[in-house]
Amino acid sequence: AKKIAVLTSGGDAPGMNAAVRSVVRTAISFGMEVYGVKHGYNGLLRGEVDKMYLRSVSNIIQHGGTSLFTARSPEFNTPEGVQKAADKCRELGIDGVVVIGGDGSFRGARDLTGAGIPCIGVPGTIDNDISSSEYTIGYDTAMNTAMEMIDRIRDTTESHDRCSVVEVMGRRCGDIALNTGIAVGAIATLVPEVPFDFEKDLVDRIKYAQQTGKRHFIVVVAEGVGHSEEICKRIQEETGIESRATILGHVQRGGSPTLRDRVVASRMGYHAVELLRDGKSNRVVVMQGERIVDFDITEALNMPRTFDEKLYKISQDLSR
Ligand code: ATP
């Protein structure tokens, strides 16, 4: 590819800016022309496409959100929309696109490749819910934010001898909850991957810890499990411990990206442009172990999700 574009799509994540910066600077280093597309696939359809230079991505590496803006595009999600976007790329002479987003965005990238425009996906989503990659851009920042917020909640929980039920993000993936639960010393962590028994996994755990002298409790609940308010009420009813529920919500989506997110985003963006330079298409850049590699998008989308059973066991055994 000689003239490439970059866009961010789906939910935003801290580190997306670092990825965009990396794509732009790498492309320029390789002698390519590079364009920034605003508002995800919507911007491609509407021609919101600007040429990017070295200085176009100045001073964004440390910022959360995405300076290219993001969108969910129902129009692109149709065969006609994909065709229209491909025609727009041809009109502009764009012969490669880097799509930073989640699985939905990768499906779009696969369809756009099918319509003749080589695409590369880069995983950007705080949930870490992309089965082909062990790590997604934004995940580390989101977990650290959740941890810091829960540390604050813990101060007040401790002062009042209370139980706090805290809901963290992760619709179908409990990774944020599991790691944050361990990091804050939660008495229980509920994730969508593991069914739970209210008496055994919550009430008994809390009562046992209470008998050994513990007086304040944190329960971490993944968004995909939900019902934090009800769980909280029921804990209070069955244990007699005053309980409060907090849903952290979008605070976890924002903020300055951590070092890990900035570095991984920089590496992944670089790898994406290398693939386009080498004439590759329909690939998704992923992390396996600590290595950055790539897979075919279609194969990546069909990979089964994995859950770290050992880490879950550790969280259970340490929650006492
Ligand atoms: P996140 O997981 O962070 O929400 P995502 O990339 O999975 O990110 P989606 O809203 O699922 O977010 O997808 C973003 C956009 O990708 C959609 O609005 C749509 O334009 C496009 N898209 C999703 N699925 C398809 C598909 N099957 N074919 C073509 N385009 C798609």
Interface predicted TM-score of the whole assembly (ipTM), two decimals: 0.92
Residue 8 Cα to ligand 1 midpoint, Å, equals 11
pLDDT above 70 coverage of the chain, percent: 100
> How many Å apart are CA 242 and CA 164, to the nearest integer?
9
User: Looking at this protein, which amino acid is placed at residue 236?
Assistant: Q
Predicted confidence (pLDDT) at residue 269 exceeds the cutoff of 90: yes
Sheet holding 243-247, edge to edge: 188-190, 217-222, 163-168, 243-247
Instruction: Give, using CA atoms, the residue closest to atom 2 of ligand 1.
Output: 102
Closest residue by Cα to residue 119 from 14, 11, 23, 29: 23
Instruction: Give, using CA atoms, the residue closest to atom 31 of ligand 1.
Output: 108
Ligand 1 atom with least separation from CA of 126:
3
Token reading at 11: 């939910």
Predicted confidence (pLDDT) at residue 274 exceeds the cutoff of 90: yes
Residue 211 Cα to ligand 1 midpoint, Å, equals 49
Predicted confidence (pLDDT) at residue 1 exceeds the cutoff of 90: no
> How many Å apart are CA 94 and CA 43, to the nearest integer?
14
Q: How far is CA 5 from the centre of its chain?
A: 22
> How many Å apart are CA 132 and CA 124, to the nearest integer?
13
pLDDT band at 320 (very low <50, low <70, confident <90, very high): confident
CA angle at 149 for the pair 143 and 154, rounded to the nearest 5°: 120
> How many Å apart are CA 212 and CA 185, to the nearest integer?
16
Q: Is 11 in the pocket of ligand 1 (CB under 6 A)?
A: yes
Task: Over range 296-307, report the average pLDDT.
Answer: 97
Instruction: Give, using CA atoms, the residue closest to atom 3 of ligand 1.
Output: 11
Which of 7, 44, 72 maximizes ligand 1 atoms within 8 Å of its Cβ, making it the mutation to test the pocket?
72
Tell me the pLDDT tens digit for each residue of 72-116. 999 999 999 999 999 999 999 999 999 999 999 999 999 999 999
Which of 37, 80, 107, 253 maximizes ligand 1 atoms within 8 Å of its Cβ, making it the mutation to test the pocket?
107
Q: Please state whether the predicted TM-score (pTM) of the whole model is above 0.90.
A: yes
> How many Å apart are CA 8 and CA 14, to the nearest integer?
12
Element (H, E) at 191: none
Closest residue by Cα to residue 253 from 72, 108, 105, 66: 66
